[in-house]
Amino acid sequence: MERVFITGRGLLTPLGNDLEANEAALRNGTSGITSIPEFAEVKLDSTVGGMADHEPVTELIDRKTKRFCPPVGLMSVVAVEEAFREAKIALEDIPGMRMALVGGQAASNSRELHENAAKYIETGCRLRSISPFAVPRIMPSSAVSILSLIFGIKGESYDISAACATSALSLMQAVRLIRSGEYDMVVSGGVEQLDWQTALGFCACRALSTHYNDTPEKASRPFDRNRDGFVLSSGAAYLVLESERSVRARGVRPICEISGIGANSNAIDMVVPDADASAAVMSAALKDADLSIKDIGYINTHGTATPVGDGVELEAIRKVIGNSGAVPAINSTKSQTGHMVGATGAAEVIFSSIMLDKQFISKSVNLDEPDEAFGWADLVREYREGVRFNHALSNSFAFGGSNACIIISRCD
């Protein structure tokens, strides 16, 4: 079975448009959460969010292509271009490579659907009011299709959708494709755009933070006793995953190894997480990596800042720790970025890889008063430089009950 390495990464998040900007923000404890004017205009209860650049500049998309390229396509192209650059892959070589593409998005087509339907009704049901490019812009696999077209990726390509676990599951499928020997490389990750049409449903189910509309940078506060819900965000995060054989043949430096993966479903409730299932998926990933919880130096939690979810996740981590005496450092990078939904799993693997490679751990911002129930946990409240750890674990727990856990390991 082939080992799988990360050789390239690309990021657009509320913290910045590339790896360098995101690393700086992680180190500095910067918040990417701001007020979103259109949320206020339509009188949403929550008016804060994390807005990545929905119109990033790239020379790879010409005017003709842009007609059927929604923001998720633009964001994805810029992120993947950065990932290929870091992996030292020349764009002209891609069509001849044994490369597949597995992407993901959860709910990024709400605006396109809403605006097309509204325009059709407002014009007296005139079909000509709708662009002939509407379908390519609204289909869930639009970003994946754009990536395949722009970069000439000729292996299998498709989109996975599983709410908050979307891009983590996309990465897991990519790992399986490489482990099986079917492909030398897989480009994998996810993307999400932010709009009020998507936020509306989350407001209706009272999942979003509403107490910090006047101080948006304080709104995302995982594990804090005053947390009141998560903050929706947009972003794009993609990785180049590569077999050990390919890494050696190309003579490139791998950033880290994806050493363990695990996935399961709660099969209990549509929105409430389950500690037993969450613990089981972490244990499955540890078993796949042939590691124990004692080996894990850092856990990037799902940590959304919901009153129930944070407690369930830490209960699950405590179950996995058991009597082992393990004390992994725990934080939530969503405290800085908010929840990028379909992009968040891949983004947090990238964040974890940055910290694993550079040997630091970012702080959970806004953790002013940790919930008393979490007193046992090593919650990272201040930036830690010069730490020493070889393995990191990243959790993704989704509405609908899909759970995923990915373990990455330091390369010598």
Among this protein's residues, is 203 annotated catalytic? no
- 329: amino acid identity, one letter: A
4-250 has CATH 3.40.47.10 classification: yes
- pLDDT above 70 covers what percent of the chain? 100
Instruction: Please state the pTM of the whole predicted model.
Output: 0.97
**Mean pLDDT throughout 185-199?**
96
- Domain segments of the chain as ranges: 4-250, 260-410
Q: Given 69, 164, 203, 256, which residue is catalytic?
A: 164
**pLDDT tens per residue, range 254-269:** 999 999 999 999 999 8
Instruction: Classify domain 260-410 at the CATH superfamily level.
Output: Thiolase/Chalcone synthase (3.40.47.10)
Q: Given 69, 203, 256, 302, which residue is catalytic?
A: 302
**Mean pLDDT throughout 354-364?**
98
**pLDDT tens per residue, range 211-253:** 999 999 999 999 999 999 999 999 999 999 999 999 999 999 9
**pLDDT tens per residue, range 72-130:** 999 999 999 999 999 999 999 999 999 999 999 998 788 888 888 999 899 999 999 98
C-alpha triplet 359, 368, 365: angle, nearest 5° = 40
Q: Given 69, 203, 256, 339, which residue is catalytic?
A: 339
Domains 4-250 and 260-410 share a fold: yes
Indicate whether 335 pLDDT > 90: yes
Q: What does the pLDDT read at residue 254?
A: 98
Distance (Å, rounded) from C-alpha 90 to C-alpha 295?
A: 36
Among this protein's residues, is 164 annotated catalytic? yes
- 132 falls in which pLDDT band (50, 70, 90)? confident
Among this protein's residues, is 302 annotated catalytic? yes
Would you put residue 132 in left (φ > 0), alpha (ψ -120 to 50) or beta? alpha
Cβ atoms of 301 and 332 closer than 8 Å: yes
Q: Is 6 exposed, middle or buried (0-12, 13-18, 19+ CB in 10 A)?
A: buried
Q: What does the pLDDT read at residue 116?
A: 87
